[in-house]
Amino acid sequence: ASEAEEHDVVVIGGGPGGYVAAIKAAQEGLKTACVEKRGSLGGTCLNVGCIPSKSLLNNSHIYHQILHDVKNLGDVKLNLTQMMNAKEQSVSGLTKGIEYLFKKNGVDYVKGTGTITSEHEIKVGPLDGGGPQTLRAKNIIIATGSEATPFPGLEIDEKRIVTSTGAIALTQVPEKMVVIGGGIIGLEMGSVWSRLGSDVTVVEYLGAIGGPGMDAEMAKTMQRILQKQGMKFKLNTKVMGGDVGSDNIKINVESAKGGKSESIDADVVLVAIGRRPYTTGLGLENVGIEVDERGRIVIDQEYRTKIPHIRVIGDVTFGAMLAHKAEEEGIAAVEYIKKGYGHVNYRAIPSVMYTHPEAAWVGQTEQEVKATGEAYNIGSFPFSANSRAKTNLDTEGMVKFITDKETDRILGIHIIGPNAGEMIAEGVLAMEYGASSEDIGRTSHAHPTLSEAFKEAAMAAFSKPIHA
Ligand code: FAD
Ligand code: NAI
């Protein structure tokens, strides 16, 4: 073992939470190391999550659009190998970009598995198989992320029974795909393969798609749109198990309310029933740090475990499992270390589902507002009445504002539509500033843009839209 090296901050995990925390800490003048065992930086998000999935979503959308919507513009053939190459290129460009940022900011990038051995010590088992290295740290930030939740009885091989990791790397388009779980991964990856020609059936235990936190009206609208695109849905349906034969898989399902059972054939099964915190090999037991019943590391408001200089951010602890949420926490945790204060506004974290059209939302859903018993207004505007959407022949979806009836303050914004993921940024900013729908409705939006639908939905909440 080499001589223990002293750092102000050692971050364990180099995903969006960890790498952002490490760069921020170095920028604050703290001597910082980041330990990552994957062999590349960027975590789940850059390597097997956000980035590769968006590459496939973008290219499969272009393919599908030319094939189905604007056929008369020309013919198109799928080159799946090339599509996968484009994905690899995006991933490697971005992960190497973070290595560059580490160098630029003076973050020590330590490759290997980090195990906390005592309150100020981390042992790193290096990737190259050499002897372990010990890092000493005044502060430790844990950012070890999450992993796919397995489905009992269906063994993942990442070829035929896959998680999202296998689903972004299939070498041929499956004829039939069953997706277990109609949440964000199921709908995004289901969309990719459905657009490329698979017969996709999504089996969802609950009565609505979209996973937790989606507005019920939006979830219904999205389901209708995806059905029109060819995806099939079995809601209120329980997967009982599967029979994996040498050339066919049978997934056995039953109505969640009991009774009727059937089996669905598949070549590939995607298990997308959620993700769980990842702490294997981290050594929490060596220092007595607790996890809750769902495996999340327990922390206080300042991201501290019961050992105050060991903080935790991102997917491995509470809250939405989103890259930008992990990043905000990374910054805040470092600010607590350096300055003693930091802040994340959890009421204004956007969610985006990158289907086509996209779905994006921020704040409360209508069902949540209704449950509070407070009076509210709804203002909505369809893209079918927006000039740019009509020109682009891309008119599915709508913008919906939920506002406080008395004060007009915005409580939630929900969008289904082209570029919803970009458009929601205006809504997030509005909520950060405590805006009313009238603030947005009286703000000039360029013509002809999709964001005029955003303005008109705001107008609909406090007055009337012009074009509907
Ligand atoms: P992670 O990104 O999981 O990073 C943790 C890192 O820690 C990993 O690289 C791991 O190797 C490393 N590690 C773990 N233990 C150790 C150890 N003991 N020593 C050293 N290293 C260790 N979110 C979005 O916001 N937008 C999206 O579009 C989006 N798309 C997604 C698509 C898919 C298919 C998936 C699976 C997820 C997607 N997510 C998306 C979620 C997003 O990837 C996560 O919320 C985000 O990566 C969490 O960041 P993190 O830093 O907490 O953890
Ligand atoms: P999820 O929590 O979004 O959805 C899982 C779905 O599976 C839920 O609808 C749930 O009811 C259903 N389910 C659970 N058990 C089931 C069972 N036994 N049978 C049938 N259905 C079952 O989880 P998902 O899609 O796996 O994604 C994991 C995380 O990754 C999410 O928390 C999400 O935040 C993140 N992510 C974010 C993306 C984005 O921001 N665009 C993209 C992909 C993932």
Q: How far is CA 286 from CA 6, 43, 282, 306, in A?
A: 20, 24, 9, 13
Residues 310-320 have a mean pLDDT of 98
Q: How far is CA 199 from CA 40, 166, 179, 187, 276, in A?
A: 34, 18, 11, 13, 29
Nearest listed ligand to the Cα of residue 214: 2
Structure tokens given for 225: 């749109």
User: Which atom of ligand 1 has the smallest separation from the CA of 314?
Assistant: 52
Cα(251) to centroid of ligand 1, in Å?
A: 29
Q: Answer whether residue 356 shows pLDDT above 60.
A: yes
pLDDT at residue 128, as a whole number: 80
C-alpha 76/C-alpha 92 separation (Å) is 27
Binding residue numbers for NAD(+): 181-188, 204, 274
ipTM of the complex: 0.99
pTM of the prediction?
Answer: 0.97
Q: Does ligand 1 have an atom closer than 6 angstroms to the CB of 95?
A: no
447 is known as an active-site residue:
yes
Nearest listed ligand to the Cα of residue 185: 2
Could you tell me which residue, 130 or 36, shows the higher pLDDT?
36
Of 5, 17, 249, whose CA–CA distance to 144 is shortest?
17
Q: Does ligand 1 have an atom closer than 6 angstroms to the CB of 327?
A: no
Structure tokens given for 342: 């930091």
Q: Quick check: helix, strand or coil at residue 138?
A: strand
C-alpha 187/C-alpha 184 separation (Å) is 5
pLDDT at residue 73, as a whole number: 72
Banded pLDDT at 3 (limits 50, 70, 90):
low
**Residue 340 DSSP code:** S
Cβ neighbors of 32 (< 8 A, separation 6 or more) are 7, 8, 9, 10, 11, 22, 25, 26, 106, 107, 108
Amino acid at 466: I
Q: What are phi and psi of 348, to 5 degrees?
A: -130, 50
User: Which atom of ligand 1 has the smallest separation from the CA of 146?
Assistant: 3
Residues 186-193 have a mean pLDDT of 98
Testing ligand 2's pocket by substitution, the residue of 233, 275, 325 carrying the most ligand atoms inside 8 A of its CB is 275
pLDDT at residue 397, as a whole number: 98
Nearest listed ligand to the Cα of residue 238: 2
Q: Whose CA is nearest to atom 9 of ligand 1?
A: 43
**Which of 7, 356, 447, 467 is labelled catalytic?**
447
Q: Whose CA is nearest to atom 12 of ligand 1?
A: 13
